[in-house]
Amino acid sequence: MLKPGSTIGILGGGQLGRMLALSAARLGLHCHIYSPEKDSGAFEVVRASTCAAYDDEVALAKFANSVDVITYEFENIPAKTAAFLAKRKPVYPDPHVLELTQDRLIEKNFIDGLKIAVAPYAPVHSASQLMKGIEKVGLPAVLKTTTMGYDGKGQIKIMPGDDANAAWRKLKNAPCILEGFVNFEREVSVVAARSADGKVECFEVTENEHRDHILKISTVPAKVSPALATEAKRIATKIAKAFDYVGVLAVEMFVVKAQEKGKAKQAVLVNEIAPRVHNSGHWTIDGATVSQFEQHIRAVAGWPLARPIRLGRKVEMINLIGAEVHDLADWLATPGTSVHLYGKTEARAGRKMGHVTRVYPK
Ligand code: AMP
């Protein structure tokens, strides 16, 4: 268990690192942010920061020497960086998790291997595999690059009659995964924390609405049956255990209509795993007795987790994307609303500038 006053090193300097550091400060823990980007929003809320490339071994060694444990807010940390640091200080979650989640195909194989339902999928490394994949999963389908995709980048929907090869060319013939298009009823996620001694605490199932492939609104409670909520949490717990995970992870899922003995019911398919705190868990800062950020800090510090309890009959998190941040004055004047801005100066289209949380009283 880290003593108060210890220092947690965080790789990545975006809003997730910033909110982790703010939570750590409340618990009397210091953070040292390591990020290659000069204008990282997390730098301004910590007392130590390093702005250097992920392959700068001199800077990495110095960083490792100055902290007690290391974590990350960004899953595309190069494997070599994580391995270099892990030789010097404990890194949580263990870097093997990065290898399993940085590549969509490896991740899907892993989930499938746990006997957890996913959309039908096939690897695409050649034109002939693309054709075979279409035969297997059918159309419409979604072609996704196996690495570096986020917020809908690196993916194309292929409709019946479309030129599938042209879609793949648009993705620069990169290694891909073809997924059957899921006609989902809604999208949900489970944010789960696992402590160093293996205890798991899940936040409530959260319902997520995307606009232009970017998360726009998260709502709790989600409109799912109690049985589905239990199943969704069971899946997230199973994944956290299988990874021997320490920290917070998020599992994004599709809710689909299914039939059981002639009766309609909801079923769940896992879409993807984020080995970090997640945008769909931001509501927990104002809407629960413990936030996802604090749970992550507790876990990597070797502290016990808290059992989260929701505040309010309903909680909504609304992302302020691009120019929406200019509605600030309205949000500041809305009762029951908390505003969070990430310290970014340029409101570029599609950029997450902040979020607001609305807690509806019980
Ligand atoms: P991803 O980057 O895999 O999280 O995908 C981003 C968003 O695209 C998801 O949240 C869904 O809204 C949509 N999407 C991704 N994969 C599929 C799929 N196989 N079927 C239907 N919609 C999908």
pLDDT at position 158 over 90: yes
pLDDT at position 150 over 80: no
User: What is the reported pLDDT for 201?
Assistant: 98
Express as a percent the part of the chain with pLDDT over 90: 95
- Ligand 1 in contact with 231 (CB < 6 A)? no
Question: Structure pTM?
Answer: 0.97
Distance 6 CA to ligand 1 centre (A): 39
- Ligand 1 in contact with 181 (CB < 6 A)? yes
Confidence of residue 153 (pLDDT cuts 50, 70, 90): confident
Question: Domain coordinates of the chain in residue numbers?
Answer: 7-91, 120-180, 186-360
User: What is the reported pLDDT for 184?
Assistant: 97
User: What is the reported pLDDT for 273?
Assistant: 97
**Residue that wins the pLDDT comparison between 258 and 125:** 125
Distance 355 CA to ligand 1 centre (A): 22
pLDDT tens digits for 208-222? 999 999 999 999 999
pLDDT tens digits for 265-286? 899 999 999 999 999 999 999 9
Domain 7-91 -> CATH class: alpha beta
pLDDT at position 149 over 90: no
Packing angle of the helix pair 292-300, 15-26 (nearest 10 deg): 70
Distance 297 CA to ligand 1 centre (A): 29
Q: Among 86, 12, 4, 47, which Cα is nearest to 302's? A: 4
Closest atom, ligand 1, to C-alpha of 144: 3
pLDDT tens digits for 166-207? 999 999 999 999 999 999 999 999 999 999 999 999 999 999
pLDDT at position 261 over 90: no
pLDDT at position 250 over 90: yes
- Ligand 1 in contact with 210 (CB < 6 A)? yes
Confidence of residue 145 (pLDDT cuts 50, 70, 90): very high
Cis amide leading into 221 (omega within 30): yes
Confidence of residue 144 (pLDDT cuts 50, 70, 90): very high
Domain 186-360 -> CATH class: alpha beta
- Choosing from 102, 103, 134, 142 the residue with most ligand 1 atoms within 8 A of its CB, the one to mutate for a pocket test is 142
Residue position matching structure tokens 């969704």: 232
Q: CA neighbours within 13 Å on the CB side: how many for 76?
A: 10
Instruction: Please give the Cα distance from 332 to 200 (Å, whole number).
Output: 35
pLDDT tens digits for 42-73? 999 999 999 999 999 999 999 999 999 999 99
**260 contact partners, CB below 8 Å, separation of at least 6:** none
Count of C-beta atoms within a 10 Å radius of residue 57: 13
User: What is the reported pLDDT for 40?
Assistant: 97
Domain 120-180 -> CATH class: alpha beta
User: What is the reported pLDDT for 157?
Assistant: 96
pLDDT tens digits for 71-88? 999 999 999 999 999 999
- Ligand 1 in contact with 142 (CB < 6 A)? yes
According to DSSP H, which parts of 114-252 are helical? 127-137, 164-170, 226-242
User: What is the reported pLDDT for 259?
Assistant: 86
- Choosing from 143, 183, 271 the residue with most ligand 1 atoms within 8 A of its CB, the one to mutate for a pocket test is 271
User: What is the reported pLDDT for 152?
Assistant: 73
User: What is the reported pLDDT for 362?
Assistant: 87
User: What is the reported pLDDT for 351?
Assistant: 96
Q: Measuring from atom 6 of ligand 1, which residue has the nearest CA?
A: 152
- Ligand 1 in contact with 147 (CB < 6 A)? no
Average pLDDT, the chain: 96
Distance 55 CA to ligand 1 centre (A): 32
- Ligand 1 in contact with 271 (CB < 6 A)? yes
Closest atom, ligand 1, to C-alpha of 104: 3
- Ligand 1 in contact with 119 (CB < 6 A)? yes
Confidence of residue 325 (pLDDT cuts 50, 70, 90): very high
Instruction: Please give the Cα distance from 30 to 8 (Å, whole number).
Output: 6
- Ligand 1 in contact with 153 (CB < 6 A)? no
Instruction: Please give the Cα distance from 198 to 355 (Å, whole number).
Output: 32
pLDDT at position 6 over 90: yes
How many residues are recorded in the chain?
362
Distance 271 CA to ligand 1 centre (A): 7
Pull the structure tokens for residue 250.
């998020």
- Ligand 1 in contact with 149 (CB < 6 A)? yes
